[in-house]
Chains A and B, each alone.
Chain A
Amino acid sequence: MTVTEPQLAEHFGATIARGDRIEPRDWMPEAYRRTLIRQIAQHAHSEIIGMQPEGDWISRAPSLRRKAILLAKVQDEAGHGLYLYSACETLGTSRRELTDKLLSGKQKYSSIFNYPTPSYADVGTIGWLVDGAAICNQVPLCRTSFGPYGRAMIRICKEESFHQRQGYELLMTMMRGTDEQRAMVQESVDRFWWPALMMFGPPDGASPNTEQSMAWGIKRNTNDELRQKFVDMTVPQARALGVTLPDPQLRWNSERQAHDFGEPDWDEFWAVVNGAGPCNAERLAHRRKAHDDGAWVREAAVAFARLEEAL
């Protein structure tokens, strides 16, 4: 007896409705597969491109302890990219194919990494705000409907939370240092606050795929819900740190039991998404150069593996 597509779709829908995971061998709608590949690949690319803004400071970290923390963090991000590419490969694609799409600009990565990092305080701010925003986005994904993605996210979220603590601890330490260091922290927070809010994506009204992704259990909260959660979480942390956040409209709303806050500059957001951010070209060029420079090494590894097989 053959199973018809409507029956498979019904089974798929029931699995999602029960809150169970879809596994790679299970039948899934083509659009679900395509959406997942796009989302996981974009996430993997973000981890890899995200190595650069902070990686730039490894050589200049001002203490050996900070150098070790930073190098380990950037290395973790490479590991995250690796797990996510593996999760994506279970959907019938390959790391190579995905890398080509990143390098040709066909697939995107998080726009936050197109902002420059001119100060060592940015290492702390990225840990606190950028890894922090990533955690808000990603914790719900630990329960995402696709098994390999959800499992990768559990592992990744644990490490992201270390990164966030380490970033915050760097800023806390700098705030106890010299006046100059305190000014560096404030200046860095001023630069990263709005781009961090943009990490949750466009407002719900301008996010057409959200509804379908939520129905599939690929997404668990809307962009605006997560952004609100992030703001509410971050404001007391900023106070404890002793920095201000650059938003005159930011205030507690006791009726809503949440913070009101201003609107990010969505024109800037779309400009950066579409390639006009301060570092888009530089980030891709860096990645492309590493890829091209390593081609002969990857070829050698393939040739040597073949040789060993023949023996």
Chain B
Amino acid sequence: MISDDLLGSEAHWAFGTDFEDPLAGVDTTVPDDIDPAALARYCLMLGDDALVLSQRLSEWCSRAPDLEEDIALANIALDLLGEARLLLARAAVADPSVVPSLPDGSPVPAEDALAFFRSPAEFRNVTMTELPNGDFAETITRLLLFSVWRLAEFESLLTHPDAVLAAVAAKGRKELAYHRDFAARWFVTLARGTAESRRRVLTALAGLWAFWPELDAPADVEVVLDQVFAAADVSRPEVTPARGLGRECVHTEALTDLLAEMQSVARAHPRGLW
């Protein structure tokens, strides 16, 4: 039975064709009134945010405080990875010049060329996403800030003239609402749990707050965040904003290290087939 399954022609893979062509069935022509270079740059911003934070979250795999959190963090990492793939693929279609050139005959698809063959100075993610995980409180606090902002960003994209971006947003907003709820629930739990957990979450917030302005969140996002802070009995820290320039491709050492690890196998086999 099992050997038939493996050798047979029936292509019945887990997760189906989702992994094959992220843009299958969507009209991928870039509308005339959109600047393709600007669209590609914007897709890289959102895509790199998702890719880099997904990479960080997946570091928790087999290390989370309990099995339920291990599974949830992997889920969130998988959602963001899926968003990253759609967005990087979109960037490559909109403006092929953003895709690094590889040796002739390299079978590497565009999404992988973008993920594995760009240097840190070509990534457009915000600084917050690249910072090391820290403890569970830091991971949760970052996820809260990031997903509150990103959910609002995706909601504003639902009516975007680019059909692909609008489709990505429609799929992603449901995922992001779950991420936000997961993070908010844990943020409140930690803030009101024990003295130790409260201390840790306040430390995490104080450290991450400097990177909040880089997201440039609209006012309604600030309102949502304040609601979570109120439930957690936490106030906005008084912190000088960091000069976050991730959107202009200026990054910390942490991104260099993250990419060195992430890209190591792909770069060792530039003609490899995976």
Contacts and interface: CB of A to CB of B under 8 A. Distances in A.
B66 interface: yes
Contact of B274 (A63, A68, A159): A63
Interface in A65-88: 65-69, 71-72, 74-75, 78-79, 81-82, 85
Contact of B61 (A66, A74, A173): A74
Interface in A153-180: 159, 161-166, 168-170, 173-174, 176-178, 180
Contacts of A233: 2-3
A59 B190 contact: no
A64 B112 CA distance: 6
Interface of chain B: mostly helix, strand, loop or mixed: helix
B25 interface: no
Contacts, number: 191
Contact of A297 (B15, B136, B264): B136
Label chain A's interface by main secondary structure: helix
Interface in A276-311: 286, 289-290, 293-304, 307
A60 B272 CA distance: 14
Interface stretch (B90-98, B124-132, B155-163, B194-202): B194-202
B41 interface: no
B273 interface: yes
Contact of A62 (B15, B197, B274): B274
A3 interface: no
B166 to A, nearest CB: 22
A296 B269 CA distance: 42
A82 to B, nearest CB: 5
A160 to B, nearest CB: 10
Interface in B60-84: 61-71, 74-75, 77-78, 81-82, 84
Given A66-B274, A233-B2, A290 B71 contact: no
B259 to A, nearest CB: 11
Interface stretch (B6-14, B26-34, B237-245): B6-14
Contact of B82 (A68, A178, A294, A302): A68
Interface in A248-281: none
Given A58-B58, A236-B3, A293 B66 contact: no
Interface centre among A58, A132, A162 (most CB of B within 10 A): A58
A174 B19 CA distance: 17
A51 B61 contact: yes
A93 interface: no
A290 B189 contact: no
Given A60-B262, A176-B273, A300 B2 contact: no
A237 B3 contact: yes
A222 interface: no
B120 to A, nearest CB: 16
Interface of B: 2-3, 5-7, 12-15, 19-20, 51, 55, 58-59, 61-71, 74-75, 77-78, 81-82, 84-85, 88, 107-109, 111-112, 115-116, 135-136, 188-190, 192-194, 196-197, 200, 261-262, 264-266, 269, 271-274
7 contacts: A72-B15, A75-B71, A165-B14, A181-B272, A294-B65, A300-B196, A302-B193
| Closest 4 pairs between A and B when the two form their complex, measured CB to CB | A294-B65, A300-B193, A177-B273, A300-B197
